[in-house]
Amino acid sequence: MNRESARKKAIELVSKMTIEEKASQLRYNSPAIERLQVPAYNWWNETLHGVARAGTATSFPQAIALAASFNEELLLQIAETSATEGRAKYNQYAKEEDRDIYKGLTFWTPNVNIFRDPRWGRGHETYGEDPFLTGRLGVTFIKGLQGNGETMKSAACAKHFAVHSGPEALRHEFNAVVNEKDLRETYLPAFEMCVKEGNVEAVMGAYNRTNGEPCCASKLLMVDILRNEWGFQGHYVSDCWAIRDFHEHHMVTSTPEESAALALNTGCDLNCGNTYLHVLKAYQLGLVSDETITESAVRLLTTRYLLGLFDGSEYDEITYYNVECDQHQKLAIEAAKESIVLLKNNGILPLKKQDIKYIGVIGPNADSRAALIGNYHGTSSVNKTILEGIREEVGDEIGVLYSQGCHLFKDRVEHLGERQDRISEARIVAKHSDVVILCLGLDETLEGEEGDTGNSYASGDKEDLKLPLVQQELLEEVLSVGKPVIVCNMTGSAIDLSVAQDSAAAVIQTWYPGAAGGKAVASILFGESSPSGKLPVTFYRDLEGMPDFEDYSMKGRTYRYLEKEPLYPFGYGLTYSDVKVLDATILSDTQEITQEIHVDGSIKLEVTMCNEGSIDTKDTIQIYIKDLESHYAVKNHSLCGFKKISLKAGEVNKYTISIPVRALTIVDDLGKRYIDSKKFRLFAGTSQPDLRSLELTGKQCITVDLFL
């Protein structure tokens, strides 16, 4: 069913409703209208990395980990799988007349906010710091969720619109001030791609204000840009209880009725929260019209028709046997393998079983299920911690010794114990081992959403880039024993890993790898798989020179504007082999580009790749662009193309990568986007073309100049 047909049906249905019934449908927990055979429907559902919060489902790696795969095809598969499990669960819940929260088909994902500051606790819900990568992965995930059938398989939602990335403690009252250049250059592009290319069905407004306007009632964002400029046709939903913030925290209104009217009149169709309980009173006061209420009801019912919730769909026969089936679990493990980033390797990896009698597994995250799953997770019945994964991998061949080492953040494990009551055990394990796997990091109780974490002093954000003090001490103690140490960092964000980089034999970023992530980590450690993940965020050495967390200027932030050397750069990640770019050639006729500025067009680049190593591996071709003339160009360079590839040892192959003509444009100080130069330089490599990447990899990018 196309949107026009669905809207016609929605208009007809809504025309039969009373004003009270129409208003009732604007709440996330929409009640049934029995006389019209409209069942109750709860709009709130989540599938950030697998269906969440509604019982058993396949648990994939956290979103930031999926971004590290740099693999659009993989994300498409994961989104399709999540939609399949969502349909399987919905079909059965509906038969049971269970219309509870988290059991519908409207998924409030993906989160395409830009991870501009490493302190933000919710950053691991995103696809990283780069607008192009975020946009491409967001579009892919949306297409996978929504499908291409007669009806939508499920409905995706791009969030949180817009200019939203902390601080969590202030989000209900915070005003994000951003200039026109940063707004159009960094904060909006991914949303624009989700709307124009992904045809996303919903957009969620953020809690904060942007330049003085609440994001759930912003004429600039919601009317001028989203609907008028981008042509958005779907529905707009508030973040949860964000409209209440209008009168309680932002102080832009005085009453719930005024808040409801302001949001509804600006185009916020659906209220996650309870402020729209006041819509009828606002209507009676003349603050909102019948026509406005009707239009929002029509938009929402249009989505339900598109999903086939009234007329049935080709997905109604998806059975419950699809939930957490073997095929889906295998995909989750493969996704974890592709997301793991090898940051350092002095040659110790992959481990050789014949050289090891005892392996020590140490750390608060070594046997932690919480460190596998990140936030907005489902409930997996199949869990594999790193300790469990290693034990399964080595079987009876190698002895496994284990120590928790320390608490995740408290100064002791046992309440009556002395400070660092597990650290001597960690030393003992290290001394009796041939090699140590040290599992450090955080979990969703320390970094995450305000109100969801135990990190109450920072409301889910980080105060600095350091590991908790007890873990810093554990790292130093284990390293001091003198055995080879492989550090596995389990976080959803950048951490200062300087000590590990200087002194450990190897460093691995595992992120939150999903419920069965321990199996993937073990597979990487012992060489059954070659690591191929790349960092979707910059790992800074420290916060020195970093703008205030509350400052939304992009100056000095992310790889595009960075003014100092990072510890690990965006796009960086090693493999067990040696993949190189041999050549890069522009296939497109540049004259065609100059005849007309088709910003929606693309430039074809042919890249020749070679695996000069002895191990089969996956890797990522990365293309960056630098405008050589315009003073409006970003300070450094920008990602403009990428492709995940597989190469056997010794294999040479050619790949064609499409670079959007939009990559040639700049954004000026007024927020206008256009081509302002005739000279550009393209860089093709397996990392970005910065000096730190060259130092870490020893590989120079191939450069190609483009003249218009």
Mean pLDDT of the chain: 96
Q: How much is the pLDDT for 601?
A: 83
- Statement: residue 491 has pLDDT above 90: yes
The SS3 assignment for 211 reads: coil
Higher pLDDT, 99 or 595: 99
Among 532-536, 623-627, 704-708, which stretch is predicted with the lowest mean pLDDT? 704-708
Numbered ranges of CATH 2.60.40.10 in the chain:
579-707
The SS3 assignment for 89 reads: helix
Q: How much is the pLDDT for 580?
A: 97
Task: Report the alpha-carbon distance of residue 1 to residue 313 in Å, rounded.
Answer: 10
- Statement: residue 355 has pLDDT above 80: yes
Q: How much is the pLDDT for 594?
A: 55
Active centre residues (catalytic): 239
pLDDT band for position 459 (cuts 50, 70, 90): confident
Task: Report the alpha-carbon distance of residue 1 to residue 3 in Å, rounded.
Answer: 7
Average pLDDT over residues 259-278: 98
Question: Over the stretch 408-446, which tens digit does the pLDDT of each residue have?
Answer: 999 999 999 999 999 999 999 999 999 999 999 999 999
pLDDT band for position 406 (cuts 50, 70, 90): very high
Q: How much is the pLDDT for 592?
A: 62
Given CATH 2.70.98.30, say whether it is the number of domain 579-707.
no
pLDDT band for position 679 (cuts 50, 70, 90): very high
Q: How much is the pLDDT for 451?
A: 83
Which residue, 631, 607, 630, is CA-closest to 620? 607
Q: Which residues contact 191 (CB under 8 A, 6 or more apart)?
A: 112, 158, 161, 162, 203, 226
Neighbours of 34 (CB within 10 A): 9
Neighbours of 469 (CB within 10 A): 12
Numbered ranges of CATH 3.20.20.300 in the chain:
3-315
Average pLDDT over residues 697-705: 97
Q: How much is the pLDDT for 458?
A: 75
- Cα–Cα distances (Å) from 173 to 121, 162, 210, 213, 463, in that order, read 18, 15, 11, 11, 20
Full 3-state SS string of 30-86: ECCEHHHCECCEECCEECECECECCCECCCCCCHHHHHHCCCHHHHHHHHHHHHHHH
Average pLDDT over residues 402-408: 98
Phi–psi pair at 422, nearest 5 degrees: -110, 0
Question: Over the stretch 7-56, which tens digit does the pLDDT of each residue have?
Answer: 999 999 999 999 999 999 999 999 999 999 999 999 999 999 999 999 99
Query: Is residue 624 within a helix (H) or strand (E), and if so which, with residue range?
Result: strand 617-627
Which residue, 699, 621, 681, is CA-closest to 657? 621
Q: How much is the pLDDT for 455?
A: 74
Question: Over the stretch 301-331, which tens digit does the pLDDT of each residue have?
Answer: 999 999 999 999 999 999 999 999 999 999 9
How buried is 405 (Cβ within 10 angstroms: 0-12 exposed, 13-18 middle, 19+ buried)?
A: buried
Evaluated on CA atoms 158, 160, 164, 168, the torsion sign reads: negative
- Cα–Cα distances (Å) from 579 to 178, 335, 346, 533, in that order, read 40, 21, 18, 13
| 435-441 and 485-490 beta bridge pairing | parallel
Neighbours of 73 (CB within 10 A): 12
Task: Report the alpha-carbon distance of residue 165 to residue 65 in Å, rounded.
Answer: 18
pLDDT band for position 237 (cuts 50, 70, 90): very high
3-state helix, strand, coil in the chain (%, to 5): 35, 20, 45
Give one word for 251, left, alpha or beta, with left for phi > 0 and alpha for psi -120 to 50.
left
Cα angle, residue 538 at apex, residues 532 and 539 outer, rounded to 5°? 90
pLDDT band for position 453 (cuts 50, 70, 90): confident
Q: How much is the pLDDT for 590?
A: 65
Numbered ranges of CATH 3.40.50.1700 in the chain:
325-561
Question: Over the stretch 624-670, which tens digit does the pLDDT of each residue have?
Answer: 999 999 999 999 999 999 999 999 999 999 999 999 999 999 999 99
Percent of the chain with pLDDT strictly greater than 70: 98
- Statement: residue 457 has pLDDT above 70: no
Task: Report the alpha-carbon distance of residue 637 to residue 682 in Å, rounded.
Answer: 9
Percent of the chain with pLDDT strictly greater than 90: 96
CATH superfamily of 3-315: Glycoside hydrolase, family 3, N-terminal domain (3.20.20.300)
**N residues, the chain:** 708
Q: How much is the pLDDT for 598?
A: 55
Which residue, 125, 164, 157, 138, is CA-closest to 374? 125
- Statement: residue 383 has pLDDT above 70: yes
- Cα–Cα distances (Å) from 354 to 23, 357, 382, 658, in that order, read 69, 8, 30, 45
Residue 485 β-bridge partners: 436
CATH superfamily of 325-561: Glycoside hydrolase family 3 C-terminal domain (3.40.50.1700)
Which residue, 477, 491, 529, 492, is CA-closest to 360? 477
Phi–psi pair at 674, nearest 5 degrees: -165, 170
Question: Over the stretch 88-139, which tens digit does the pLDDT of each residue have?
Answer: 999 999 999 999 999 999 999 999 999 999 999 999 999 999 999 999 999 9
Q: How far apart are the first and last CA of the chain?
A: 43
Which residue, 583, 137, 136, 620, is CA-closest to 342? 620
The SS3 assignment for 335 reads: helix
